[in-house]
């Protein structure tokens, strides 16, 4: 796993401002030299946007046009900010501030709070789940773990979109938000949550931005002081800016226009958190005099990968699609993307693991391979398949590298060796930096050969092995580097959260893979219901799913595998179909299929179908009714029969045992909610579920009577019952009977 562009250790700092521009292509050079006024950089995936940004800042500093302390570069992750600081340091512009929005705001809030409000800044809570749970309890509402996560996400969305509790119901309806609880209940929990925070003198992550905005709006003297310090602003990933972040940026700027933004509307994949590409797409409207530069030369991916990426977006709709960038690969040709269809999900996971094992045996580094999936819940089957194949792996989003206990212990040992190593006989025998580091790491459990199998022991070994490889990189980059130099490099990387590569296949969701790249990428689970995800209904949601696949495709440098399974479990009904986004791209598919799939699923053409005016709308309705046929005899169904998808007088193939369990579950659930049973599911819906016995989210969501809200509220329980699993409340009931 690597960041978007490889970095080197101990490089030579460019000797002059002009030398900073060496190696930039014409468009990147145009970005680097546009140092005045508003600048908008539209940068496609793999086009070197971070390179252009850092060289722009470094060129301005080295040329004496920008003062390092007057520049604030803002991005969205600590990793990206750390990488930016590292690159600026390498270019001779180490005094520039590169931070996330929250980090920059928190520093300002901590500094100005005593002056603006008085006293100490309230404590910042790391996780708000417990507070949300307490707020729900105050409303006499009981939320399970999944509901707590959903309600917490709604509160976070409300705050970044600057929606107060009293406005939540209307705002959520307007934005098309769908949650597992009624909007009025969420608004009540939200209001209690804010009250609890005040009573307990704590603030949350979003409050950091809200309070900073409030101070800058109310205290012009403080705003002027910040503006006098920061004269020039750079914002990376501008397509992910929320309304609250944009408001803070506007207050930082004041009436000035020394702003450079970089983004790609085709990589907008976080709208569920409040991010919007509108600020990027409207930039030229807000700043008519802006310099606009488009970066389309793709240095990351082969022509074959780029061709597929362009194809994924070719049928995109909406405003972001109107501004899509056609990438041009700058790399040598590579292998064609490989499409694979499997009978079931375990076979798909085993196929990926088998292919990865072959690649590693042929010399491909495990750290340059990734398996990317739509949801984190898909990871387990791939973890098992890789473990069975003897392939090391790491889960993206796990504990930070430099916060791991074995890494912290190794760091302390290396620091002690750098100071007092003259008294260590083992170090005396080490002739160079790598051997010195290996000697120290040996005392911490590192061995020349990895331990057998996977698990915690292998994880610790991989962490130490990553440090050993980093020492080798240091020695290659700077042959005279000492152990003290290496320790300094480790400290700088720890401060920047710039971890070395852990040698293992990366398992990550598509969202978590944003900003990363690998030589080999396997995109798995690309079946309807998962890509696009089953609960993506509107055209906007479908288009975001398409962009998510585009992000996944553009993570690959050369080898790209795309796969799907026809059923969830071995022996299951093979009724899945490949993602509509691959129609017209994968062998044997057609473009027309993609268009019909888009119209027929996910509500993409919902607006057109709801148009009752004229015979066209009526013809569409009649046409839609004709395709609803009895699955037993084939006769066209009447409207009242469509929920069962069979004629009333046709024999039922219902699983009676499953139906009884569903009835019992519905009774318990309705009693817990204090509602009549039909409010959970009607009898006909339960019969339809028992007859079809859905195996996955896609199959369940397509049953009439299972809407988005009920799917989110009850889907996991229903699928578990259909799979023969015992629910926790059933176990509690059994214990009570004893």
How far is Cα 514 from Cα 410, in angstroms, rounded to an integer? 30
Buried b or exposed e, range 574-591, using 16+ CB within 10 angstroms: eebbbbbbbbbbbeeeee
Q: Is 8 annotated as a binding residue?
A: no
Per the CB < 8 A criterion, the answer to whether 367 and 503 are in contact is yes
Q: Are strands 123-124 and 291-295 parallel, antiparallel or unpaired?
A: unpaired
Whether the ω angle into residue 475 lies within 30 degrees of 0, i.e. cis, is no
Per the CB < 8 A criterion, the answer to whether 444 and 409 are in contact is yes
DSSP-based three-state secondary structure for 626: helix
Q: Is 50 annotated as a binding residue?
A: yes
All residues at 6 or more sequence positions from 94 whose CB lies less than 8 Å from its CB, including other chains: 68, 85, 88
Select from 363, 415, 368 the least CA-distant residue to 3.
Answer: 368
- Start-end of H helices in 161-239: 168-175, 183-200, 205-218, 220-229
Buried b or exposed e, range 318-335, using 16+ CB within 10 angstroms: bebbeebbebebbbeebe
Q: Is 504 annotated as a binding residue?
A: no
- Start-end of H helices in 34-182: 49-62, 78-90, 101-116, 129-138, 145-160, 168-175
Q: Is 475 annotated as a binding residue?
A: no
How far is Cα 724 from Cα 726, in angstroms, rounded to an integer? 7
What secondary structure, in 3-state letters, does 238-254 show?
HHHCCHHHHHHHHHHHC
All residues at 6 or more sequence positions from 391 whose CB lies less than 8 Å from its CB, including other chains: 353, 356, 357, 360, 366, 505
Per the CB < 8 A criterion, the answer to whether 583 and 597 are in contact is yes
Q: Is 45 annotated as a binding residue?
A: yes
How far is Cα 519 from Cα 521, in angstroms, rounded to an integer? 7
How far is C-alpha 489 from the geometric centre of its chain's CA atoms?
A: 29
Per the CB < 8 A criterion, the answer to whether 95 and 62 are in contact is no
Q: Is 43 annotated as a binding residue?
A: yes
How far is Cα 470 from Cα 490, in angstroms, rounded to an integer? 9
Q: Is 710 annotated as a binding residue?
A: no
H/E run at residue 457: helix 456-477
Per the CB < 8 A criterion, the answer to whether 386 and 353 are in contact is yes
User: Torsions phi, psi of 519, nearest 5?
Assistant: -65, -40
| Number of residues assigned to the chain | 738
H/E run at residue 625: helix 614-626
Per the CB < 8 A criterion, the answer to whether 238 and 261 are in contact is yes
Q: Is 49 annotated as a binding residue?
A: yes
Given the structure tokens 């005899």, which residue do they identify?
Answer: 633
How far is Cα 272 from Cα 279, in angstroms, rounded to an integer? 16
Per the CB < 8 A criterion, the answer to whether 20 and 57 are in contact is no
Integer distance in angstroms from the first to the last C-alpha of the chain?
53
How far is Cα 53 from Cα 49, in angstroms, rounded to an integer? 6
**What letter does residue 121 receive in the DSSP assignment?**
P
H/E run at residue 546: helix 539-553
Q: Which residues are annotated as a binding site?
A: 43-50
The annotation places the binding site for ATP at 43-50
């Amino acid at each position: 796993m690597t960041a978007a562009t490889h970095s080197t250790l101990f490089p030579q700092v460019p000797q002059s401002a002009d030398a900073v521009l060496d190696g930039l292509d014409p468009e990147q050079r145009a970005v680097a030299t546009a140092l005045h006024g508003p600048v908008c950089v539209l940068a496609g995936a793999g086009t070197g946007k971070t390179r252009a940004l850092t060289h722009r800042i470094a060129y301005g500093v080295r040329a004496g046009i920008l003062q390092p302390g007057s520049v604030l570069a803002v991005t969205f992750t600590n990793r990206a900010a750390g990488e930016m600081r590292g690159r600026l340091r390498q270019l001779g512009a180490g005094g520039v501030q590169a931070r996330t929005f929250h980090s920059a705001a928190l520093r300002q809030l901590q500094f100005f709070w005593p002056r603006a409000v008085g006293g100490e800044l309230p404590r910042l809570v790391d996780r708000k789940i417990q507070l949300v749970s307490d707020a729900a309890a105050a409303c006499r509402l009981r939320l399970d773990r999944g509901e707590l996560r959903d309600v917490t996400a709604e509160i976070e969305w409300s705050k970044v979109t600057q929606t107060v509790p009293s406005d939540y119901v209307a705002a959520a309806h307007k934005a098309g938000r769908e949650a597992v609880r009624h909007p009025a209940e969420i608004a009540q929990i939200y209001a209690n949550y804010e009250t609890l925070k005040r009573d307990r003198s704590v603030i949350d992550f979003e409050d950091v931005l809200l309070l900073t905005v409030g101070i800058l709006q109310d205290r012009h003297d403080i705003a002027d002081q910040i503006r006098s310090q920061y004269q020039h602003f750079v914002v990376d990933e501008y397509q992910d800016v929320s309304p609250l972040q944009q408001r803070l940026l506007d207050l930082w700027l004041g009436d000035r226009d020394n702003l450079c933004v970089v983004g790609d509307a085709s990589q907008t994949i976080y709208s569920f958190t409040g991010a919007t590409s509108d600020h990027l797409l409207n930039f030229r409207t807000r700043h008519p005099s802006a310099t606009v530069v488009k970066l389309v030369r793709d240095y990351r991916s082969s022509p074959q990968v780029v061709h597929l990426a362009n194809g994924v977006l070719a049928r995109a709709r909406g405003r972001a699609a109107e501004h899509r960038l056609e990438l041009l690969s700058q790399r040598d040709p590579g292998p064609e993307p490989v499409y694979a269809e499997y009978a079931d999900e375990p076979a798909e996971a085993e196929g990926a693991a088998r292919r990865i094992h072959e690649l590693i045996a042929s010399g491909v580094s495990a750290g340059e391979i990734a398996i990317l999936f739509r949801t984190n819940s898909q990871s387990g089957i791939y973890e098992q398949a890789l473990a069975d194949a003897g392939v090391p792996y790491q889960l993206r989003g796990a504990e930070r590298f430099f916060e791991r206990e074995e890494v912290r212990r190794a760091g302390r040992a290396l620091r002690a060796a750098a100071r007092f190593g003259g008294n260590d006989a083992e170090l005396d025998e080490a002739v160079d930096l790598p051997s010195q580091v290996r000697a120290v790491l040996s005392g911490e459990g590192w061995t020349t050969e990895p331990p057998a199998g996977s698990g915690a022991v292998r994880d610790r070994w991989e962490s130490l092995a990553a440090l050993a490889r980093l020492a080798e990189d240091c020695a290659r980059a700077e042959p005279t580097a000492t152990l003290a130099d290496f320790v300094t490099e480790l400290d700088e990387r720890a401060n920047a959260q710039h971890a070395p590569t852990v040698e293992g296949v990366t398992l990550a969701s598509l969202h978590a893979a944003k900003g990363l790249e690998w030589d080999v990428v396997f995109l798995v689970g690309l079946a309807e219901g998962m890509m696009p995800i089953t609960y993506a209904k509107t055209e906007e949601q479908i288009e975001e799913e398409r962009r998510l696949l585009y992000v996944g495709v553009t993570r690959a440098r050369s080898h790209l595998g795309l796969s799907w399974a026809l059923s969830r479990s071995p022996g299951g009904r093979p009724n899945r179909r490949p993602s509509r986004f691959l129609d017209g791209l994968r062998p044997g598919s057609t473009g027309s299929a993609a268009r019909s799939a888009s119209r027929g699923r996910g509500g993409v053409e919902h607006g057109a179908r709801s148009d009752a005016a004229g015979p066209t709308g009526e013809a569409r309705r009649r046409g839609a009714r004709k395709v609803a046929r009895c699955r037993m005899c084939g006769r066209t169904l009447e409207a009242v029969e469509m929920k069962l998808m069979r004629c009333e007088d046709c024999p039922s193939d219902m699983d009676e045992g499953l139906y009884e369990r569903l009835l019992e579950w519905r009774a318990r659930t309705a009693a817990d909610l204090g509602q009549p049973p039909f409010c959970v599911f009607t009898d006909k819906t339960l019969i339809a579920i028992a007859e079809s016995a859905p195996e996955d989210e896609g199959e369940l969501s397509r049953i009439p009577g299972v809407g988005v809200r009920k799917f989110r509220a009850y889907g996991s329980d229903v699928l578990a019952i259909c799979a023969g699993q015992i629910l926790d409340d059933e176990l509690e009931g059994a214990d009570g009977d004893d």
